[in-house]
Amino acid sequence: MAENVPSILDQGLNLDALVDQRGLFWDRLVRVFVYAAAGVVAFVFLAMVWQLVRLGAGQLSWSFLTELPQNAGREGGIFSILISTLMILGVCLAASVPLGLASAVLLAQTQRQTLFAILVRRSLDVLAGVPSIVFGLFGNAFFCVYLKMGFSILSGGLTLACMALPILIRTMEMAIRSVPQEVHHASAALGMGPIRTWVTLILPAASGGLAAGLVLGIGRALAETAALIFTSGYVDRMPESVHDSGRALSVHIYDLAMNVPGGEANACATALVLLIILWLLNSLTHRLIGRWLGRRLIYT
Amino acid sequence: MKQRQASRWKSQLGKLPLQISALLSGLIVILILGFLIQQAWPALSEVGVLRLFSDGTWNPTEQVGGASFGMTAMLLGTVFVAGGAILLAAPVGLAIGLFMRFYAPRWLASPYRHVIQLLAGIPSVVFGLWGAVVLVPLIGRYQPPGASLLAGILILGMMILPTVALLAETAIASVPAEYIRASVALGMTRTHIIGKVLLPNAMPGLMTAVVLQTGRAIGETMAVLMVCGNVVQFPGSVFDPVRTLTANIALQMGFALDLHRAALFGSGLILMSLVVVLVWIGHHIQAAQEGSHG
């Protein structure tokens, strides 16, 4: 039987002759590279997190969170650091949220691209790219020296507010824009004034997205180190007011790792605390964004 | 009629605080630039911009032989570390983006993306900590001292990689699905589709991602400060320690006075202008892309 099959069909069924061998080779090569990259990246990052856990988890306990640091942070906990961090964050949000929300409302309101809106947007884009150490220089010269606030939680918080503004405004503007135009029209048709429309309709409708922006801003501020070293300072004592110097979690990690021999374990433990807080905030953001904005946000 | 005018007047008045807020937000950049220039002015006028680059060494506090303000070595340090990091992160980030979009099995793609998103949120100081505690001793075992250009490139590359990957995926996802279906119908191999259809169409988004992340790498301080060894020198090999402009500011701001302090603000000005140029380029790529898509 087999001898009766025409040889031409034999050739036709020969897939090897049809398929571009070079193309297949590249196909395999690219696939190997992609899988290798995915595997190596996953491995390296898992190793990183696991090593931080191995070095730091032994230190973690309830008393680590509630005790004051002792012996330059080698022993004791991070209570005063946590309080300082919260105070810096509080100052940052108190300054940046009203300013950011008002700016976002204005930018979202301008239907046409006015020159003013373009200039504000462009300068915010540049602001988003300014290196954090430059914010540190600026905060030191402006808040600490020029406005005579000294090394204080106030200076640090205000510097962070400048840093967090671009991301706050960008996400909040998107949240406001995601409210359907019909809501504006309906409220205008009912004769509601602009202020009542915004306070009772638009902002509540955008609240999920606004909250997502807020949480992103908090994450950005918590992760920051370089801008804080020369504005809110190093002091690890319990701050009594916003005019005292206070050490943020991130600065504590840096100081323990670099300037305190034998501080690595507590540095890793503090890093774990920071990571857990940030990852909780991250999952909160994702739930908020998933519910209110679709998946339009970019991670910067 | 009068009432309508009054209400319009009121709504204009209501807008005023908003306009002032937006103006303030927009002015922060100008304020930063102004303060940097003002603080750097003593160095710019007395030392001169030229000497910031032509002086061979960085000894701003030297009393005997006269102070020197050469930043070239540190500027090169910044360029090497950031350049190496982006050379590492761009291809691998693109591969991760492709993996999440096309190669990963369905059950893996979503959790993998979630992990990458978590990694994108790790603060730079934590990368620096891991680098200082784990990576530097590891490199030091083979090529002492360990704290080196290589450690900086690896840590910084790891730091920007997740964001590059997520942005790359977004850029790839923006290519219309019809293009891919058409290519499949034409019987193109997967690599051909990626190389000839996908990447050319996603290129503006990819370029924007690379440009903006280069800016982030140039401006990064903590991670670099903690692993690079911070010796002011032209590195002879990747195992030599280097100091970047950002690390220099962080190391010396605490005690710098007068001209020294002014010179540090000058280096801040250099960093800021580099980043402004990169943001500008990134925007032009994006604008060109939006223009070409109609």
Closest residue, chain A, to B248 (C-alpha): A133
> Is residue A256 one of the residues assigned to a domain?
yes
Q: Do A250 and B120 touch (CB under 8 A)?
A: no
Q: How many whole angstroms separate alpha carbon A200 and alpha carbon B157?
A: 47
Q: Give the SS3 label for residue B186.
A: coil
| pLDDT over 70 (residue A17) | no
> Is residue A299 one of the residues assigned to a domain?
no
Chain A residues whose CB is inside 8 A of the B120 CB are: 299
A137 and A46: one domain? no
pLDDT at A286: 75
Q: Closest Cα of chain B to A100: distance in Å?
A: 8
Report whether A11 contacts A17 (CB < 8 A). Answer: yes
Q: Do B103 and A34 touch (CB under 8 A)?
A: yes
Q: Do B28 and A127 touch (CB under 8 A)?
A: yes
Average pLDDT over residues B273-286: 86
Tokens for B199, please give them.
Answer: 């990447």
Q: How many whole angstroms separate alpha carbon B14 and alpha carbon A194?
A: 8
A93 and A211: one domain? yes
A286 and A138: one domain? yes
> Is residue A259 one of the residues assigned to a domain?
yes
pLDDT at A277: 92
- Domain at A136, CATH number: 1.10.3720.10
A126 and A183: one domain? yes
Q: Do B29 and A133 touch (CB under 8 A)?
A: no
Which residue out of A137, A218, A234 would a mutagenesis test of the B interface target, given it has the greatest number of B Cβ atoms within 10 Å? A137
> Is residue A107 one of the residues assigned to a domain?
yes
> Is residue A6 one of the residues assigned to a domain?
no
pLDDT at B35: 93
Q: Do A102 and B17 touch (CB under 8 A)?
A: yes
Full residue range of the structural domain in which residue A22 is found = 14-59
Q: How many whole angstroms separate alpha carbon B84 and alpha carbon A73?
A: 35
pLDDT at A202: 86
| pLDDT over 70 (residue B40) | yes
Q: Give me chain B's average pLDDT, please.
A: 87
Domains annotated on chain B, with CATH: 2-49 (no CATH), 71-292 (1.10.3720.10)
Closest residue, chain A, to B119 (C-alpha): A45
| pLDDT over 70 (residue B294) | no
A22 and A113: one domain? no
DSSP character at residue A239: P
A29 and A164: one domain? no
Distance (Å) of CA A274 to CA A56, A90, A110, B10, B123: 12, 17, 39, 47, 9
| pLDDT over 50 (residue A2) | no
Please return the burial class of A173, using the count of CB atoms within 10 Å of its CB with bins 0-12, 13-18 and 19+. Answer: buried
A38 and A156: one domain? no
Neighbours of A62 (CB within 10 A): 8
Report whether B53 contacts B65 (CB < 8 A). Answer: no
A34 and A112: one domain? no
pLDDT at B14: 67
DSSP character at residue A108: H
Geometric angle at alpha carbon B25, from A129 and B44, rounded to 5°: 60
Of residues A111, A167, A151, A177, the one with CA closest to residue A232: A151
A43 and A109: one domain? no
> Is residue A129 one of the residues assigned to a domain?
yes
A18 and A141: one domain? no
pLDDT in tens, A189-215: 998 888 888 888 888 888 888 888 888
Scanning B137-196 for CB atoms below 8 A from A yields 158, 161, 163, 165-167, 170, 189-192, 194
Is A146's Cβ below 8 Å from some Cβ in B? yes
Q: Closest Cα of chain B to A138: distance in Å?
A: 6
A38 and A128: one domain? no
A153 and A207: one domain? yes
Q: How many whole angstroms separate alpha carbon B229 and alpha carbon B211?
A: 27
Range scoring the smallest mean pLDDT among B61-70, B197-206, B255-264 = B61-70
Q: Give the SS3 label for residue B10.
A: helix
> Is residue A297 one of the residues assigned to a domain?
no
| Per-residue confidence band for A112, with pLDDT thresholds at 50, 70 and 90 | low
Scanning B79-98 for CB atoms below 8 A from A yields 91-92, 95-96, 98
Report the number of distinct structural domains present in chain A. Answer: 2
pLDDT at B7: 59
> Is residue A298 one of the residues assigned to a domain?
no
Distance (Å) of CA B78 to CA A191, B105, B147, B237, B258: 59, 39, 15, 15, 25
pLDDT higher at B214 or B13: B214
